[in-house]
A and B are shown apart, each in its own frame.
Chain A
Amino acid sequence: GIQVEQSPPDLILQEGANSTLRCNFSDSVNNLQWFHQNPWGQLINLFYIPSGTKQNGRLSATTVATERYSLLYISSSQTTDSGVYFCAVGSGGTSYGKLTFGQGTILTVHP
């Protein structure tokens, strides 16, 4: 099956700093999502981005499908950004297929 690798596994920042999270995947995808898992376990869908670039406030994401990677940018980080960030990809012949998750990046933002 498709392999998903995220880096770095852990990231510690001071409030206000910028960061870049990376997601590499081993095969062509028709779905790629970035999630933030809060301390209660809820997965918050940040971006649906199988290709291209999107921005939402302080967050933006870019997926270069031909090179099989995606980047999540967090600017001016806040303590509320802390949590686990997951990249998940879907492949196969339908956009309704299952998602394979990376191992996540644990982000800690200190005040």
Chain B
Amino acid sequence: GAVVSQHPSRVICKSGTSVKIECRSLDFQATTMFWYRQFPKQSLMLMATSNEGSKATYEQGVEKDKFLINHASLTLSTLTVTSAHPEDSSFYICSASSQGAITHGYTFGSGTRLTVV
């Protein structure tokens, strides 16, 4: 149980375009999802907390107008990188919480490697 699916796994886009990344909880309802970013050889940094039916909460220093988060249903959260630039190239990974998180912790998606050229 507690499977999180993330798509696409890899995307290359041109500078100035927008990219949408999907995070789905496959076998449970996730009222809360989290988006992290990881630069090469670094740790994961939380970008924002996505709450179903309400606005996302962004961490300090993360531009909410650049990283648009939508959590329209209990099984889907999307992250849109708008007007992407090469410095946005990174590994983006989502996680979701469920009732099982109390005993098993959080489950993470497989990540999306974004390259902006």
From known contacts A96-B32, A98-B34, A99-B34, infer whether A104 and B110 are also in contact, taking CB-CB under 8 Å: no
Other-chain contact of B101, A40, A96, A100 (Cβ < 8 Å): A96
Contact A102 B43 (CB under 8 A): yes
- A45 close to B102 (CB less than 8 A): no
A-facing residues in B39-54 (Cβ within 8 Å)? 42-46, 49
- Chain A's nearest CB lies how many Å from the CB of B36? 8
Taking A45-B104, A86-B44 as contacts, is the C-beta distance between A98 and B49 under 8 angstroms? yes
Q: Judge if A78 is at the interface, Cβ distance under 8 Å.
A: no
Once the chains bind, are B44 and A41 in contact (CB under 8 Å)? no
Name the residue among B43, B45, B49 with the largest chain A CB count within 10 angstroms: B43
Which size class do B's interface residues fall under? 20 to 34
Residues in A whose Cβ lies below 8 Å from that of B32: 96
A41 touches B110 (CB 8 A): yes
Say yes or no: is B28 at the interface (Cβ < 8 Å to chain A).
no
The 7 closest A-B pairs by CB, nearest first: A48-B105, A43-B108, A41-B111, A33-B105, A96-B97, A101-B44, A101-B43
- Interface residues, chain A, CB within 8 Å of chain B? 31, 33, 35, 40-43, 45, 48, 86, 88, 95-96, 98-104
